[in-house]
Structure formats: structure tokens, C-alpha cells
Amino acid sequence: MSTIGMALPGLVQCLPRLSRPLRLTMSARLRPLLIVLLAVGCLVGGYGLGVRSATNAAPSISGLSAADQQAFRVVWETLAQIERDYYRHNELDPQKLADGAARGLVEAVGDPYTRLLDPARAERAQNELRGRFEGIGAQLDTRDGKVRVVAPLRGSPAEQAGLRAGDVIAAIDDVDAAHVSLGEAVRKLRGQAGTSVQLSVRRDGSADPLVLTITRAEVRVASVEGRLLDGGSAPLGYVRISMFAEPTAQQLRDQLSALLAEGARGVVLDIRANPGGYLSSAVDVTSAFVRDGVVLYQQRGPDASARKTYRANGSAQAPDVPLVVLVDGGSASAAEIVAAALRDNQRAVLVGQKTFGKGTVQEQHTLSDASQLRVTVAQWLTPSGQAIQGQGLVPDVDVAPVDGRDAILEAGVDVLSRSVGGHG
């Protein structure tokens, strides 16, 4: 399964086998470090756009070139010297040293999207893309330096325990939330299903905190939400996609069926603040609105002959319904693919602000310790051949944000209403 940043299936062999052993003493405890280090340096192919999911056997280490052999000799020498000379060498932790060596390799690449995720982070990321995670199920935000509840998810442990939108989290398991970042708060609230977390919350400005004990559970998240809007002369459908996860395409089709049955004459597709997801999901979502046409090109190098073409899959559900797509600076990767494909195929007008500009392809590999290596291997291009990396998409209708109202949505509804009116 590809995620946004995937690449063509294939094999890239990068580190051949050593032609002769290096005569350096090294304890058996530290010997695995080099194996991990070299294994991380080898790539095995994957899918196609941003990040693609692939579980591969550990790559073999064939022979190093003379230059690589000399370069990696330094790694052997460093490990051997640390093991021999460090005054507390019995306290050395091989796993920490291995992690540091692997991360150093990744960081030295100098690419922000070539990353190494530890097993816990990798599992969280995969679960989110599958549309589920373990935790209390509450959307959080920060305002005035305070962690607040945007809303508990429907049917979640947070909702069942009585957590409400607007609650200010004062403490998490007796840890003062005033000193906790939003990311740290999310990490503290997530955890294994069946475990509990205690929250102290302040509600409606009350000085006395309310204490809630919430038992974590598996939470399933809908990546698509829809509702009917008043379009003036005709009702309009509004569909919000928060990320391109495994169930997104089917959830979109369910929402479209309901909205069209209710009489929606046009659709506002909102992909603002959408960080991306699976390539297959982006292609399927585009295909719901396009009968045929190119969705994107993926290119591994400067040679255009190396391009792979992704087309609509022939399952159009609403190919003639007037469509407006809302975008902003948080629309990235798969979201940009969908926006560009719908515009280039003359299916939609883009309304909002310039998008993020994430257009490289990552292959995703599960390593032997369940960590995940994501390596940038290619870039993707819009159907018109435009590169997105570092550029982003400029909307057809640029709308500045306005405090207190959703100016981008208002502008999108206005554009769509005029289009629907023109279609009689």
C-alpha cells in the first residue's frame, strides 16, 4: 500500500559486500551495530508517491566500492575504539549506539522527507493511515498557551467519560499541562487500549478542576465528513477529507451517495489542512469525479522516459457535478495530487491559499526492529507536467483568511453557486 510519497516497484542496491574483512577487534555486543548501519543504508523498492508502504526482507550487503569501503572503515574504527577505550565500556548500550548510527546516516542525507521512525511512532503513523488508533479519542488544540479540547470523537472513550468541546486540560496524570506542548499532550493521551489516564479539566472558566478518569480504547476515525449546505438557488454538498487513509475512498462514496440523494447540485470538496496519506486513496478519490484522465506522473530521475503514469480508474460517481476544491498552506502531498488532478482535468476550481508544496516520493520499509525507513526516491508531477516540490499550487481564487468566519468556504460556496446556476 503506497502512502503519499511512494515509488515504482523495484530494487535499488546500494551497499555491496566487503571484499575483505577489516582487522579490527570488536566485541560481539557491538558487532550488530555495523550490520544495522549498513542495512539502513540500502533501499528496497516500493510504490509511488510520498511514502509507500512495503514490508521487505532485510537487504543483503553485497560488496562495497573502494571508496565506500574506505568511508565505512571509519565506522568500524569508531565502534572499535569506543568499545576498547571508553572508560565505562560495560555500560555501553548497543541499541542506543545502533539507533544513533542509523539516524546519523539518515540525517546526513540532508532530505527532510528521508526519515527513520522508531517502532512506536511507526505503528502510530500506520494506525492513523488505517483509520484507527488507541487512545481516548479527542481532538486537541492550543490557544492562549492552553491545551483545549476541540471536540471528543463520536462514540469515543473521551465522549463517554463526559469530556466536552472547549474543556481546558489542566493536568494529565498529575502532570501540569501548562508545561506540556500539544504534541506531548497527544502522546500522553494515546496508549494501549485498556489502560487509563486521569485528566483534570477546567470547564466554562471554572476555577475548580473536574477530574475525569478515561480508559483508552481503539478509536476508529472517519477521514470524511459531509453535510448539506444552503447554496441559495440550489442545495450544495460539503465534503471534508482530513487525510487520505485506507477507508477514505469508500467513505467519500458513501457521503456523495447521501448528498446527491438529498438533492445536492454541486460539491465543495474541502482538503484544507490535509497532510496527505496513501497514493491509492488519492487516485480513488480523484476517480470519483473524473471519468478518465491522468491523475499524476511519477518520475525517478531527470529522464522523462522513467515516468510512470497513474490514471483515473474508471469508477466515476459524480463526473458531471460542479465541483470546487478548498485548499490552504496545510494541503500537502496526496491532497495536492487530488487538487491538481481535478483542476488539470477541468473538473474543479481551486479556492483558498497556496498549498504546501510536498511533491517528492518516498519508499517506506519496515526494518528488522519494526522501525520504518522512508527514503525519497522520486518526485511526482501534475497531469500538466508541473512539479509541486517546493512550489505548491496557486489557487484559481485566492482568499485571505478572516478572523471570526470561514472566508474560504464562503468564497467556495459563492463560486459553486454561480456555477450551479449556470447549469440550470
304 secondary structure, DSSP code: G
Q: Choose the catalytic residue: 270, 280, 344, 371.
A: 344
CA–CA separation, 272 vs 329, rounded Å? 8
Question: Which sequence spans correspond to the domains of the chain?
Answer: 2-117, 132-220, 224-360+376-422
| pLDDT tops 70 at residue 280 | yes
β-bridge partners, 386: none
CA–CA separation, 172 vs 179, rounded Å? 11
The verdict on whether 333 is a catalytic residue reads yes
Q: Judge residue 264's burial from the number of C-beta atoms within 10 Å of its C-beta, 0-12 exposed, 13-18 middle, 19 or more buried.
A: buried
Please tell me the number of Cα atoms within 13 Å of 42 on its side-chain side. 24
CA–CA separation, 228 vs 215, rounded Å? 35
Fold agreement between 132-220 and 224-360+376-422: no
CATH number for the segment(s) 224-360+376-422:
3.90.226.10
Q: What is the pLDDT of residue 12?
A: 23
CA–CA separation, 297 vs 295, rounded Å? 7
| pLDDT tops 60 at residue 126 | yes
Grid cell digits, residue 42: 540500502
Q: What is the pLDDT of residue 63?
A: 63
Q: What is the pLDDT of residue 304?
A: 66
What's the whole-number mean pLDDT along residues 407-417?
A: 96
| pLDDT tops 70 at residue 60 | no
Name the amino acid, one letter, at 221.
V
Nearest C-alpha neighbor of 158 from the set 128, 186, 124, 121: 186
Report phi then psi at 214, rounded to 5. Answer: -120, 130
Are residues 243 and 223 in contact, defined by beta-carbon separation less than 8 angstroms? Answer: yes
Grid cell digits, residue 8: 515504482
| pLDDT tops 90 at residue 4 | no
Looking up cell 485528566 gives 199
Give pLDDT tens digits for 25-40.
344 444 444 433 333 3
The verdict on whether 188 is a catalytic residue reads no
CA–CA separation, 343 vs 143, rounded Å? 35
Other C-beta atoms closer than 10 Å to the C-beta of 356 total 23
| pLDDT tops 60 at residue 366 | yes
Alpha helix (H) ranges present in 268-366? 279-287, 334-344
Task: Please report, rounded to a whole number, the percentage of residues in the chain having pLDDT higher than 70.
Answer: 84
Q: Choose the catalytic residue: 156, 200, 333, 417.
A: 333
Q: What is the pTM of this model?
A: 0.72
More confidently predicted of 59 and 81: 81
Q: Is the sign of the CA dihedral 365, 366, 369, 374 positive or negative? A: positive
| pLDDT tops 90 at residue 16 | no
What CATH class has 132-220? mainly beta
| pLDDT tops 60 at residue 17 | no
Give pLDDT tens digits for 206-228.
778 899 999 999 988 789 999 99
Q: What is the pLDDT of residue 30?
A: 42
Q: What is the pLDDT of residue 298?
A: 93
For residue 306, what pLDDT band results from cuts at 50, 70 and 90?
confident
More confidently predicted of 269 and 102: 269
Q: Choose the catalytic residue: 242, 328, 358, 371.
A: 358
CA–CA separation, 162 vs 189, rounded Å? 15
Q: What is the pLDDT of residue 265?
A: 95
Q: Where are the beta strands (DSSP E) in 174-306?
A: 175-176, 196-202, 210-215, 217-220, 224-230, 235-241, 267-270, 294-299
